[in-house]
Structures are given as C-alpha cells and as structure tokens.
Amino acid sequence: MSDTNDDELQAVRDLALSSLPQWGLQHRSLELIKHRENAVYKLISSDGTPYALRVHRANYHSDASLRSEFQWMQALQSAGICVPEIIPCNNGDLFARVAHPDVQHERQVDLFAWIDGEQLGSVEEGLGDNTQQIEHIYSTIGRIAAQLHNQSSAWARPEGFVRHAWDRDGLVGNEPLWGRFWELAALSDEQRKLLMAARDVVKQELAGLPRTGDCYGLIHADFAPENLLVSGNEVRLIDFDDAGFGWHMFELATALYFIQDDPHFELAKSALLNAYCQARPTEQAILETLPLFMLARSFTYVGWVHTRPGTQTAEELTPALVEMSCGLAEQYLA
C-alpha cells in the first residue's frame, strides 16, 4: 500500500514538466526528491542550472495565502535570515497555476534556486551521544527561531496578507487545521476519552493566553532539524508550507516534539531555550507554557493521520503518534 500510486506520480510529473515554459526553461533531468504533501523535484535545466520545483497539493493554500508565504520569505531574506530564493515566472508572478488532463485539479507550481547543503540533523536518527553536536544543533535552532520571531514581530505585513492560524480554533476548535484528532478510528474508547478531556483543558488554557507580539505572530510551524540546511557557514531555513500565525512556544514545541523520549532531550531543550532567550528575551511565564504546546502539537499529528486513512504513512505512524499524544495528555492532566 502506498500513499500515491505510480500513475498518479507520473501524472504529477507530467504536469511539472508542462509548467517549465512559464519560466522559459527546458529540462535535462527532473528527479522526484520528496512526495508527501507536495511533490518536490530537483530540476536540471538544459543549461545545467539546478532548481527545486514544487507542485502543490490541491486546495491547501489559496493563491493569496501562497503569495503571502512568498512575501514573508522575501522579507526574511531582506532581514538577513537565509531562506530559499524564489524564481519568479517570466510574467513576474511568484508561482504558476497549471492544469493537466491527467491531474484532477489545477495545481500551483513554484520554482526555487537549488540549495546545496546537508540537513542540520534528523529526528528519525535520534540525537546520538555527541553532546557537543546536540548543543550546537539545538542552539542553532533556538537562535534562528528567535531571529524569525523578531522579524515577524516588527514586520509591517503588506495589504492582503493572509495565512492560516495555529490559534485556539486551529489547534483544538471544532475544525482544527489538521483534522478532528479525537475522531481517529484507531483510538480505543479510553484513549478517545483521555484526548477529549485533554482537548477541553487545552481549549480553556489557550483562551486565556494573550496574542500579543511578545508571544504570538507569524511562525514557521515546522522548525525541525530536517528543515535547516547547512552549507559552509550558512544555515538556511526551508519549507514554509505550514507557516502561519501562532504562539511562539508552539514553534519551539514543534522543534522538540519528536525527541522528547531521547535520553539527551533535556540537554537539547536547554540549548534551544537558552539560545532563543539570548536572541529574544522571553518572560518565564511564556516559557512555562511549553508543556501546553507540546500537548497541542501532539493533537495536530494525530489529526494528520486521521485525515489520511488507508495511506502507508498514516498506518506506519499512527500507533506511535497516539502513544505520544496520550502520554502527554496523561502528564498534563495529572
């Protein structure tokens, strides 16, 4: 069982190739490098120039929302924060809308300059035992997250800017951004009761939190080591697909979520928070909401697999994600 069959993958690839005239490009090669939500390809043009070409999944972002994503990325680049370089279409648009007879919906397609670099780290491989390396990785994450939040707190957003929100409704409302996690079919009655009780508590606590610039604003929302590419002395933050409005501590919870059972978790957390606070002084009361946002983050991952029933990815991840969410719920309610 696979998330996408070969015919679908071929159709999306054909759509990707049909988009190239929008940039006046011809291809030497087109290699699929990632396909989970969006399809991301390494494109080598006929003159040998490498690019990253992204075909979006249908109906996730409106055109206004995607345009806003790019506007923020350009503002971050201007502020000295390394992000992917967007390659506009020949007509000046930041992305193209492309239809193909074998693909069910018109798709948004965008193009970036290729980034040579290695991932800062990988949660799938664990933290390992090199404590100096762990401190380096999570200090880097904390520092860049703080720089990002400093920029977003001070930035005057352009007219028409729109992105989704990881706010109370987006996390634990009736229609959360990533799905009604409490309805996951794989939950036992006891697990469902636990998560619903925890959801009620999180709803209540989020309702009492401020949404002021010192703790809430534009966030990347997927600040994992895999999304930081290192090339020489440069660390570049990639993949703004989930970026939107949210609490800053939700950002940091995301960075720490999948290492919470690692023996060196406390070292990583301390390194991240110390570096973050050095670059962005933060009140202790805000830092103390981290467990709340770890729990809220867990809900989103359970919702994610709930909305992808029958896919290989969901089947593989569901048991672990449910166990992690229920464990955090028990701790928090206790």
1 in a domain, yes or no?
no
CB within 8 Å of 310: residues ≥ 6 apart: 1
Q: How many CB atoms lie within 10 A of CB 309?
A: 12
Q: Are residues 108 and 163 in the same domain?
A: no
Q: What is the pLDDT along the chain (334 residues), one digit of tens a residue?
A: 346 678 889 999 999 999 999 999 999 999 999 888 899 999 999 999 999 999 999 988 999 999 999 999 999 999 999 999 999 999 999 999 999 999 989 999 999 999 988 888 776 677 888 999 999 999 999 999 999 999 999 999 999 999 999 999 999 999 999 999 999 999 999 999 999 999 999 999 999 999 999 999 999 999 888 899 998 778 999 999 999 999 999 999 999 999 999 999 999 999 999 999 999 999 999 999 999 999 999 999 999 999 999 888 899 999 999 999 999 999 999 9
pLDDT in tens, 274-332: 999 999 999 999 999 999 999 999 999 999 999 999 888 899 999 999 999 999 999 99
Distance (Å, whole) CA 173 – CA 192: 16
Q: Are residues 156 and 190 in the same domain?
A: yes
Domain harbouring 46, CATH code: 3.30.200.20
CA-based angle 135:141:143, to the nearest 5? 95
Supply the range of the domain harboring residue 192. Answer: 119-333
Q: Are residues 42 and 170 in the same domain?
A: no
Closest to 310 in 3D by CA, of 3, 9, 6, 37: 3
pLDDT in tens, 108-134: 999 999 998 888 877 667 788 899 999
Q: Are residues 110 and 181 in the same domain?
A: no
pTM: 0.93
78 in a domain, yes or no?
no
Say how many domains are in the chain.
Answer: 2
